[in-house]
Chain A
Amino acid sequence: MSGVYLYALLGANPATSPGVGVSDEPLRTVDLGGLFALVGDVPAALAPSPATLTAQDAVLRRLATGVDAILPARFGTLVADDATLVESLTARRTELTRALAQVSGCEQMTLRVWGEQAAPPADAGVTDAGPGARYLAARRRARQVPEVDTLRRRLGALVKAERVERHDRPPLLATVQHLVPRGESAQYLAEVEAAGAQLAPWRVTVTGPWLPYAFGGAA
């Protein structure tokens, strides 16, 4: 099933040749009007494996050194031709342009919060609220990680944007992705290490820097 494989969206055309992709295919860009799709023409999409995921990430990391704004596409995104690609992305151009502006010059750090039991939410005492208020409280809780608030305050100056996802299956309680300026990840890691010991009974692990995978706008 040959087609056009989407690697990423770029805020600008790379100044130098984008080189080759995971299957050694030459990479090229498709102009979407103010943003560019980085694509390769492939005979078939690759199956996901640690090797292919790592290879795709490596292609994008190499590219990222030459462009400020890069939004990786989800692995395995293959379309029939350029026209289909342009049609699919044009409808979301405003949102994607905004997302590219946000991630420009930034990289992603990923925190995971572990523990046997989540901290009670700040509004746990509110039990007599109506269904609307309960709904809004639940929405707010889904974006809160009281377990690591002290760490988040400490990281505040480094963080340009944040994504929070709570999980309902301990020991993984929450995933927090932070957008930090490129080159600041060492300082970020140092802050996490310094604050991590004070978070008991909760524990955090951190990975990165990553390309800004989690900041591509709404799915």
Chain B
Amino acid sequence: MTTPTRATARDVLDTTDSSLLDLVDNLLNRGVVISGEVMLGLAGVDLVYLRVSALLCAADRISDGRP
């Protein structure tokens, strides 16, 4: 039986190129994080502490307007 979550993930996978997925993962989810007083430039965008389990949705969300 296919759960809605799996179906959604598959839809995104089928329509999203995996390089975009990894671009999102690498730049928003990896990379050196600095401690202290940091103003993250992502106000209003809840992608900062993104986990890969949420990545499929995130890649889909920021895909709007992609050329």
The one of A73, A87, A205 in contact with B31, judged by C-beta atoms closer than 8 angstroms, is A73
Separation in Å of the A1 CB from the closest CB of chain B? 6
Interface of A is mostly: mixed
Task: Give the residues in chain B near A108, CB-CB below 8 Å.
Answer: 26
Q: Which residue, of B18, B23, B34, B42, has the highest number of chain A Cβ atoms within 10 A? A: B34
Count of chain A to chain B residue pairs whose CB atoms are closer than 8 Å in the complex: 147
User: Which residues of A are found within 8 Å of B65, using beta-carbon distances?
Assistant: 49-50
Which residues from A are CB-within-8-Å of B18?
112, 205, 207
A88 touches B32 (CB 8 A): no
Judged by a CB distance under 8 angstroms, whether A118 is at the interface is: no
B15 at the interface (CB under 8 A from A): no
> Would you call B27 and A168 a contact (CB within 8 A)?
no
Minimum distance in angstroms from A83 CB to a CB of chain B: 10
When A76-B42, A88-B36, A205-B18 are in contact, do A53 and B23 touch as well, CB less than 8 Å?
A: yes
The answer to whether A210 and B42 touch (CB under 8 A), given A74-B28, A171-B6, A171-B9, is: no
B41 nearest CB neighbor, chain A only: A45
Q: What residues on A are CB-neighbors of B23 within 8 Å?
A: 50, 53-54, 57
- Residues of chain B touching chain A, judged by Cβ–Cβ distance below 8 Å, are 5-6, 9-10, 13, 18-42, 45, 47-48, 52-53, 56, 62-63, 65-67
Known interface pairs A77-B40, A78-B39, A112-B18; A167-B31 also in contact (CB < 8 Å): no
Whether the pair B36, A48 counts as a contact (CB closer than 8 A) is: no
Residues of B within 8 A of A126 (CB): none
Q: Of residues 56 to 92 in A, which have CB atoms within 8 Å of B's CB atoms?
A: 56-57, 71-80, 84-85, 87-89, 91-92
A residues with a Cβ closer than 8 A to B are 1, 3, 5-6, 8-9, 44-51, 53-54, 56-57, 71-80, 84-85, 87-89, 91-92, 96, 99, 108, 110, 112, 165, 167-172, 175, 205, 207-208, 210-211, 213-214, 216-217, 219
| B6, B20, B31, B56 interface centre (most CB from chain A within 10 Å) | B31
Contacts of B27 in A (CB 8 A): 48, 53, 56-57, 72, 74-75, 213
